[in-house]
């Protein structure tokens, strides 16, 4: 049986959807890595496996390109929600999607489901929620060493862990330089996502992103939410900001009790039918 995947992207962050109801392949670390390999495979920032049907609703499993599981992905859940509408699984304007990092509430803002508002959950700055080593505390503006350089880091969880570093100037080389060390730093027992952030004004910030298990990415929904939350927590911005990333923009709103809402677009690219030869290689892994 041939394997078919659907490719989407959210602000240049590209995923393929693997629907287990339409395919016969058990995903694992090795075949996910092969699918996501941009030279030897299809190429992707991750695989969205689902819908996984349970008594309590629809869920999605989010695979990183290194074959690890991500608790949550902002672009990923928007893309998957678009797929659910395209494939006829969801007809309502609002529904709840389950992830390993908690439930998210999806609202379709247009007819074809390409623009969505997502309730991403609650931000926590507490070290045991993120997690960060050491005594229990809110990890706010702490000095952390990455690659022999000291940075003022604020860490936060939105179902997955983030380290945000405010800077005057940001760039791809700089976030990669920091991220290669911060992802696996001793502070973070479960590794961490890293954003360097430039505050433009009270209603706009810009970030560059290095994702755990993926490396440099053009956009990140959870990264945008984390950075917006940190900017607000530090008193640098208002509670509602536009987050500018190399792949595009997301609107992020932080409530008084630290619930976060994200609004943005996703795009359908193609339906992909894998060759028999490639499918057999995946089955053998």
Q: Which residues are annotated as a binding site for substrate?
A: 13, 64, 74-75, 160, 193, 211-212, 221-222
Q: How far apart are CA 52 and CA 61, in angstroms?
A: 8
3-state DSSP call for residue 85? helix
Half-sphere exposure of 266 (CA within 13 A, CB side): 35
Both tokens of 155, joined, read: 């860490």
244 within 8 A of 204, measured Cβ to Cβ? yes
> How many other CB atoms are there within 10 angstroms of residue 202's CB atom?
12
16 within 8 A of 47, measured Cβ to Cβ? yes
Which residues are known binding-site members?
Answer: 13, 64, 74-75, 160, 193, 211-212, 221-222
- Alpha-carbon distances of 75 from 8, 89, 217, rounded to whole Å: 10, 19, 11
DSSP 239-260: SEEEEEETTEEEEEEE-TT-EE
Residue among 187, 230, 184 nearest 207 (CA): 230
Q: Is residue 222 within a helix (H) or strand (E), and if so which, with residue range? A: helix 221-233
């Amino acid at each position: 049986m041939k394997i078919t995947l659907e490719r989407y992207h959210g602000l240049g962050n590209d995923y393929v959807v693997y629907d287990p109801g339409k395919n016969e392949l058990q995903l694992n670390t090795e075949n996910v890595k092969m699918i996501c390999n941009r030279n030897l495979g299809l190429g992707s920032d991750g695989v969205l496996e689902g819908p996984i049907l349970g008594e309590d609703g629809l869920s999605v499993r989010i695979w990183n390109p290194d074959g690890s599981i991500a608790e949550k992905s902002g672009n990923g859940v928007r893309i998957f929600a678009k797929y659910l509408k395209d494939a006829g699984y969801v007809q309502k304007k609002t529904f709840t999607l389950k992830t390993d990092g908690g439930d998210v509430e999806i609202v379709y803002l247009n007819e074809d489901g390409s623009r969505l508002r997502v309730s991403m959950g609650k931000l926590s700055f507490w070290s045991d929620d993120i997690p960060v080593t050491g005594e229990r505390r809110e990890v706010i503006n702490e000095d952390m060493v990455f690659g022999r350089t000291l940075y003022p880091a604020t860490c936060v969880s939105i179902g997955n862990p983030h380290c945000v570093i405010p800077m005057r100037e940001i760039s791809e080389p700089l976030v990669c330089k920091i991220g290669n060390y911060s992802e696996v730093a001793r502070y973070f027992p479960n590794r961490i996502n890293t954003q360097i952030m430039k505050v433009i004004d009270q209603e706009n910030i810009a970030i560059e992103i290095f994702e755990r298990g993926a490396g440099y990415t053009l956009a990140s929904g959870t990264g945008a939410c984390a950075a917006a939350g940190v900017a607000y927590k530090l008193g640098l911005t208002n509670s509602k900001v536009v987050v500018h990333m190399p792949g595009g923009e997301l609107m992020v709103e932080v409530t008084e009790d630290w619930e976060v809402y994200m609004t943005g677009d996703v795009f359908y690219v193609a339906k992909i039918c894998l060759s028999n030869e490639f499918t057999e290689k995946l089955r053998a892994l």
